[in-house]
Amino acid sequence: MTVSERDPVQQVEAAREAFEREFERFARFIGDDVSAVGLSLKEAEAEQHALAELRARHTGKKSALAACKKLIGRVAPEQRAEFGQLVQQQAASISESIEQVDQKLNSLIESARTERDSIDVSIPGRRPRPGHLHPITLMRQRIDDIFVSMGYIVEDDREIETDFYNFDALNIPEGHPARDTQDKFYTTEGFALRSQTSTVQIHAMQRRGAPVRMIAPGRVFRRDTPDPTHNPMFFQVEGLCVDRGITMAHLKGTLAEFVHRLFGPETQTRFRPSYFPFTEPSAEVDYSCFNCGGKGCRICKHSGWIELGGSGMVHPNVLRAAKVDPEEFTGFAFGLGIDRTCARIYQLDDIRLLFENDVRFLEQFR
């Protein structure tokens, strides 16, 4: 027996039963059933999709209900009104059930979307940790400022050098014992990491000729084993002043002014005779301790004096190497340790602290 041959009323019954069987899974979306509340946005959207398919299956053109509607015209005239009503009621009841679920799903979807898009303003924010300059950079900037205010330019030059700039041009010929005291890191093809910023004296004079007044802060490298007072990489600042009639008095006056500005006007300087191949005469420079004023304390190791660096009058051979005429020009030069000075000022008993980049240490210089 085919569907169309069955009793029309039975067909309507069968259509309703088929709908109700499938609709059962949506029953939880009617009324106040709380199990529907925890649905995720994705789940609710999937349910709505399934509901749309159910609607098409049970109310669409090819549905059993549509077939029942077609039967209305075929039933006996005296039963037609009653049968027509039955089909209409059935259609209305199916539509209403679906509509109820659809509305519920719409509101679930909407609140899930609102939830997804909203921000909880009460959650504590993620604070970016502000950075700050490294103590060596701070120190270098203070040194730069002082010399710039005295009319010096700041040169920033290469860290990889040939032996010509690191040694020969600085009056340290091959075989000279001074080469051994600055054991370098060699790379390939005659290049090496510079062991002193004095290299920049030559570059600056070659570039600018004379007169010239410059400082050159930067990294230098030596094959040292790290210990509390040594590191294979450290910072120096080189100074060079070349002009007509420059004397040792200018050197002394310049460095005295420098320590006055860095440590205070009461600071004394002391020059001790020394030897550097690139200066003649040469001197080591000390300044009176910024902490005890020269009486002696832990910082100056009870001597009252702290070493600043090396200095001297530029050797004529150095001027010649940079094509500056030593008959016309004279000059002075000096080299100071930036990190050494930094370690003294902040009383660091281990210079390696400055290179390990432990934020717990660095944060103290904010």
Q: Return residues touching ligand DAH (CB under 6 A).
A: 196, 198, 238, 276, 279, 310-312, 333-335
The minimum distance between CB 310 and ligand DAH, in angstroms, equals 3
The residue among 108 and 241 lying less far from ligand DAH, judged by its C-beta, is 241
CA angle 110, 111, 116 (to 5 degrees): 100
Q: For residue 69, give the nearest of 55, 88, 54 by alpha carbon.
A: 88
What is the spatial distance between Cα 133 and Cα 130, in angstroms, rounded to a whole number? 10
The residue among 101 and 333 lying less far from ligand DAH, judged by its C-beta, is 333
The residue among 139 and 170 lying less far from ligand DAH, judged by its C-beta, is 170
The minimum distance between CB 189 and ligand DAH, in angstroms, equals 24
What is the spatial distance between Cα 341 and Cα 338, in angstroms, rounded to a whole number? 5
In degrees rounded to 5, what are phi and psi of residue 101? -65, -40
DSSP-assigned beta bridge partners for residue 286: 270, 307
Could you count the other beta carbons within 10 Å of the beta carbon of residue 43? 14
Say which DSSP state 337 is in: E
What is the spatial distance between Cα 71 and Cα 65, in angstroms, rounded to a whole number? 10
The minimum distance between CB 164 and ligand DAH, in angstroms, equals 16
The residue among 196 and 267 lying less far from ligand DAH, judged by its C-beta, is 196
The residue among 155 and 238 lying less far from ligand DAH, judged by its C-beta, is 238
Q: For residue 205, give the nearest of 333, 335, 310, 337 by alpha carbon.
A: 333
Q: If you count them, how many residues does the chain have?
A: 366
The minimum distance between CB 288 and ligand DAH, in angstroms, equals 21
The residue among 15 and 210 lying less far from ligand DAH, judged by its C-beta, is 210
The minimum distance between CB 279 and ligand DAH, in angstroms, equals 4
What is the spatial distance between Cα 63 and Cα 22, in angstroms, rounded to a whole number? 14
The minimum distance between CB 122 and ligand DAH, in angstroms, equals 59
Q: SS3 for 84?
A: helix
